[in-house]
Homo-oligomer: A and B are copies of this chain.
Amino acid sequence: VSPASRATARPVRATLTHDYIIRTALAIIDRDGLDALSMRKLAAELGSDPMAAYHYLPNKAALYDGVVEAIYAEMDLDDLSLSGGWREYLADSARRMRDVLRRHPKALPIIATRPAYPPSILAMADHSLRLLQRAGLPPSAALDVISCLRAYTVGHVLAELGEPVGGPTTATEDAATAMAAYPHLAAAIATGYRPDEQYERGLLALLDGFARQRSPRQARDATRG
């Protein structure tokens, strides 16, 4: 490595691979944000012509798809305990999903909206459904359970870490001042924001609620009063 090439920071070049392109794109997103990722900037980071990536990808949307796939691939399920009951398994896999999303806050808009069916997610879903059906739930109800858990998890991470799509808000009144007129809201917010505890509470509430739906008689009794 010559001193000159060391001085030019990035372009060390590793022959360009689909995988290498995707990993570089994810690095740019994590570092500079979703809007900062352009085909031209990606090329500069790769040390190639802006058009070189098009030999491995049909368009920029495919780049996004690859990035989402790469993120989900980070979720390893090997140490996910299969021995516990359905509640433990569903809770653990939801927490694991949350952890992965939280690792890439700048990528949340594409994670939350681009379709992706990576083996990790599908395997988790399949095992979840198996456990739920074994516990007495019909297939459609079981699917509802895991769909709602996923929706809750994505929504919660988005609320916690999601950056405004379309660029930063023009600083007008912030939350604190707007809420001054609402006493209960102001008081509640003053107690602080603890996203981990909040997520955990909602997760357990969802699981408890679904467990109760499993036995309708019990649920009906509890609803009164």
Interface residues of A (CB under 8 A from B): 34, 58-62, 64-65, 108-110, 112-115, 117, 122-123, 125-127, 129-130, 133, 139-144, 147-148, 150-156, 158-159, 162-170, 172-173, 175, 178-179, 181-185, 187-189, 191-192, 194, 197-199, 201-202, 204-213, 219, 222-223
How many copies the complex holds: the figure is 2
Residues of B within 8 A of A125 (CB): 182, 185
Smallest distance from the beta carbon of A137 to chain B beta carbons, Å?
A: 10
A152-B213 CB under 8 A given contacts A117-B178, A139-B191, A167-B59: no
Bound together, the chains give a CA A65 to CA B187 distance in angstroms of 26
Closest residue of B by beta carbon distance from A162? B113
Instruction: Supply 23 A–B pairs (Cβ within 8 Å), ascending by A.
Output: A61-B166, A61-B168, A114-B165, A115-B164, A117-B179, A122-B179, A126-B182, A129-B184, A129-B185, A143-B191, A144-B197, A148-B156, A148-B205, A151-B155, A154-B158, A154-B159, A201-B210, A201-B213, A207-B209, A208-B212, A208-B213, A208-B222, A212-B222
Q: Which of the residues B122, B184, B201 comes within 8 Å of A185, measured between beta carbons?
A: B122
Judge whether A182 and B122 touch: CB under 8 Å.
yes
Q: Which of the residues B126, B164, B205 comes within 8 Å of A113, measured between beta carbons?
A: B164
Smallest distance from the beta carbon of A200 to chain B beta carbons, Å?
A: 9
* CB-based closest 8 A-B pairs: A155-B155, A205-B209, A148-B202, A151-B155, A209-B209, A129-B184, A208-B209, A126-B182
Judge whether A109 and B117 touch: CB under 8 Å.
no
Residues of B within 8 A of A182 (CB): 122-123, 125-126
